[in-house]
Structure 1
Amino acid sequence: MTQKIVPVIMAGGKGTRLWPLSRAAAPKQFIQFIGNKTLFQETLLRVSDPALYEAPVVLTNEEFRFLVAEQARELDIGLAAILLEPVARNTAAAVAAAATVVSKRFNENTIMHVLGSDYEIVADDTYFDCVRIAAATAAQGKLVTFGIQPSEPATGYGYIEGGETLATGARVVVRFIEKPPLTKAEEMLAAGGFYWNSGMFMFSVSCLLDELRTHAPETIKAAGEAVANAKTDLDFTRLDKAAFATSPDISIDYAIMEKTSNAAVVPSPFKWSDLGSWDSVWKSGSRDEYGNVAAGNTTVVNTKNSLIMTHGVHLAVQGMDDIAVIASEDAVYVGRLQDSQDVGNLVKMLAAAPSTSQLTETHPTSYRPWGGYTSVLNGDRFQVKRIFVTPGKKLSLQKHHHRSEHWVVVKGTAEVTIGENVQ
């Protein structure tokens, strides 16, 4: 039994519009953009108040499991569970699986807070006021979503029309609206009462399961069987692939929120961005007197209204306007900020060419339960790696018949086992 909210964090998405930092094997939720924490870590911190929240349940996939575990460890935040989705089935199946797990570990009256891990949110008093309104509304049997107060007639978001105001301060949902053309977005902004669909939800487990049984029976059946036949692997719970794969590939919005008569929306005026393009990263950043946002090792001269970021080499930018220059460990992107919505098409071109496809998949640095490694150099029959081991962790013993290894410890103290010898 718990009176606290159980946070459910969705961390399995793969984005390409923030290339070269975001890649298939390390998407934007696990990348540091502005500041020293990733979007996933910022999400963990928003649900870290033990007076309000239980430990989080995280849904992710096989490729990201070590990133999730390591980034939570860096913050010393314990996780209630890390559920691994064996195949991509959108958010309905993921939320249904999480609800099944939460109902078993707590009870069906528990309130779940479903959050994406790839948004930038300012978690101020206004934000937590909205969280408490949502929780109170969910406790009354409503399926609650957070509606962001629009700041512009954006065409990249879905919208929600709010109706009657409830006693808690939330509003009845009149309808959901797909991403509109500009003229329609302008009309809604002028009319008022319309909100951006944030992709965040709050509901009691019992209400959610009832709605899933009514509107998405195939989804809840697949999720229930996937949880019942799940396997435990280290700190991870592997949902059963055969069962999970039978779920329809649909979003939680489409599965129940657009069909239920119990939907409510909390008008949410806190700062929120889905960071879906380099232009949105620039808008959310702290700009200097010339309108520039710079992060990492940069020198910016005679440049305005630009985004300059590096995770590797020093960037020196001169005489530019409305430009994005983004450097990762092994690639650099240069383009106009106004064209940043088209980065996804560029990534498709890179992925289609054998010589550049790897640049869209992985970073030189990979993470493992014991730490990780960075590929420094790959040559003809040799490679050089920089390996970092978390204090107290160890790599497994290995035996190679046709390979020799030379290790140099450059920082810290290592205990090395070679055959029967421990040094």
Structure 2
Amino acid sequence: MHIVPVILSGGSGTRLWPVSKPERPKQLLPLTADETMLQLTAVRTQGFGAASIGRPILVSNAAHADIIDEQLQQINIGDYSVILEPIGRNTAPAIALAALEAQPSDALLVMPSDHVIDDLPAFHDAITRALPLVAQGWLITFGIEPEGPETGYGYIQMGQACGDQVNKVVRFVEKPDVADAERMLTEGDHAWNAGIFLFRADAYLAALKRHQPGMMAAVRASMEQAKRDGPRIFPDATAFHSCPSDSVDYAIMERETQVACVPVAMGWSDVGSWDSLHAVSNRCTDENAVRGDALLLGARNCLVHSDGPRVTLVDVDDLIVVVSQGEIMILKRGESQKVRKVTEALKALAAVTSSQ
């Protein structure tokens, strides 16, 4: 089977403010390695031998076109297409754009551009287990074996086996409260929803036409009228603006019957907060994680991320300190979901200032 990597790179990454900003979101930053998260994603299928791998298709914000080209050239990805959305319409239309660009029989391996996967052999094995069902027209999602009662992720309930360590999906579960997360963990038939998918292009488009005909029509029209410039594809803005906005989970996966989940433990993280970045970072003495210039004396369980000035911490525990682009943010470790409040407050402040 011919696998085409589809890399979704439309996110703004505001939860990692002030390092990640709309003009340069987290997928375009080197947060966990010398390479950016986009670069790490682009090479994630290298070494996979169970099927042929085609040229990647990226779906991205048009404002990031130049930097995406630059970063892919740095890692010698010479043959790729990048579809530049005139406006964000969530993951269901984004995947449809890629499906229309691919060949109908291509298996689309849909991956967010800003995730960490440490165990690539485990990921490749999970793909191999999924391929027989993909060939039959099933829609496959990859579920992460839970490490605890996490409330920040959606869950997938798995039912009867339908392949080699592959289970039919019973239902998708919204982000739960602590009690429900603990219950699902105890039951043992739930996985975290990683937002990684594998399906034939024609199977996805057929499902989209069944359940979201208006979305299908708008996306098809935008691609039929698209302009092309080398690897860059510009869907027609007028047609795409008329497209409904919805996630692939809501629009397709929750509505289809031939949906299966491949559970896998592969060192996965969505790096959705400064706390999760601390969790996946290499830690030095006293469980501190440092990127940039820092002096830590008696500090424990801290994350320091600085793009220039030295940060000195003395006899403090569980702090996140971020210095980036002239902004400084300090908060308690375990509270990094509150960064969203910071970005909202800054937007409100900017609105007040501009009105004066």
Bin of the TM-score, shorter chain as denominator length: over 0.9
Q: TM-score under structure 1 normalisation?
A: 0.80
The offset of 1:316, in angstroms, is 2.1
| Structure 1 equivalent of residue 222 of structure 2 | 226
2:288 aligned with 1:292: yes
Q: Note the alpha carbon deviations across 1:40-75, whole angstroms, 9 max, x for none.
A: 111011034485421100000111111211110111
- Residues 50/231 of structure 1: CA separation in 2 closer, same or farther (3 Å cut): farther
Aligned-partner Cα distance in 2 for 1:97–1:307 = 39
- Residues 278/357 of structure 1: CA separation in 2 closer, same or farther (3 Å cut): farther
The alignment-based identity, stated in percent, is 35
| Structure 1 equivalent of residue 85 of structure 2 | 85
| Structure 1 equivalent of residue 205 of structure 2 | 209
Aligned-partner Cα distance in 2 for 1:356–1:132 = 54
- Residues 186/89 of structure 1: CA separation in 2 closer, same or farther (3 Å cut): same
2:331 aligned with 1:312: no
The offset of 1:357, in angstroms, is 9.0
> Equivalent of 1:280, from 251, 268, 276?
276
Q: Which moved more, 1:307-316 or 1:69-78?
A: 307-316
The offset of 1:234, in angstroms, is 4.8
Q: Where in structure 2 are the equivalents of 1:125-274 lying within 5 Å?
A: 125-274=121-270
Bigger fraction of residues in helix: 2
Aligned-partner Cα distance in 2 for 1:156–1:224 = 34
The offset of 1:233, in angstroms, is 3.3
- Residues 77/123 of structure 1: CA separation in 2 closer, same or farther (3 Å cut): farther
Structural RMSD (CA): 1.8
The 4+ residue runs of structure 1 with deviation greater than 6 A are 355-358
2:10 aligned with 1:15: no
- Residues 70/176 of structure 1: CA separation in 2 closer, same or farther (3 Å cut): same
The offset of 1:235, in angstroms, is 3.5
SS state at 2:317 partner: coil
Aligned-partner Cα distance in 1 for 2:171–2:161 = 15
Q: Note the alpha carbon deviations across 1:175-231, whole angstroms, 9 max, x for none.
A: 011111110000000110100110000001121111111111111111111110001
SS state at 1:46 partner: coil
Whether the 8 Å contact between 1:313 and 1:329 is mirrored in structure 2 is: no
2:114 aligned with 1:118: yes
* Structure 1: unaligned runs, 5 residues or longer: 359-423
Q: TM-score under structure 2 normalisation?
A: 0.95
> Equivalent of 1:5, from 3, 28, 43?
3
Aligned-partner Cα distance in 2 for 1:307–1:214 = 47
Aligned-partner Cα distance in 2 for 1:190–1:74 = 45
Whether the 8 Å contact between 2:129 and 2:163 is mirrored in structure 1 is: no
| Structure 1 equivalent of residue 331 of structure 2 | 335
SS state at 1:188 partner: helix
Which amino acid in structure 2 is aligned with residue 219 of structure 1? M
* Structure 2: unaligned runs, 5 residues or longer: none
The offset of 1:143, in angstroms, is 0.1
SS state at 1:282 partner: helix
Whether the 8 Å contact between 1:146 and 1:268 is mirrored in structure 2 is: yes
The offset of 1:241, in angstroms, is 0.9
Whether the 8 Å contact between 1:48 and 1:55 is mirrored in structure 2 is: no
| Structure 2 equivalent of residue 101 of structure 1 | 101
Whether the 8 Å contact between 1:137 and 1:168 is mirrored in structure 2 is: no
Which amino acid in structure 1 is aligned with residue 10 of structure 2? G
The structure having more radius of gyration, on CA atoms, is: 1
Q: Note the alpha carbon deviations across 1:345-380, whole angstroms, 9 max, x for none.
A: 11221233249999xxxxxxxxxxxxxxxxxxxxxx
SS state at 2:43 partner: helix
| Structure 1 equivalent of residue 40 of structure 2 | 42
Whether the 8 Å contact between 1:15 and 1:23 is mirrored in structure 2 is: yes
Query: How many residues are paired up?
Result: 352
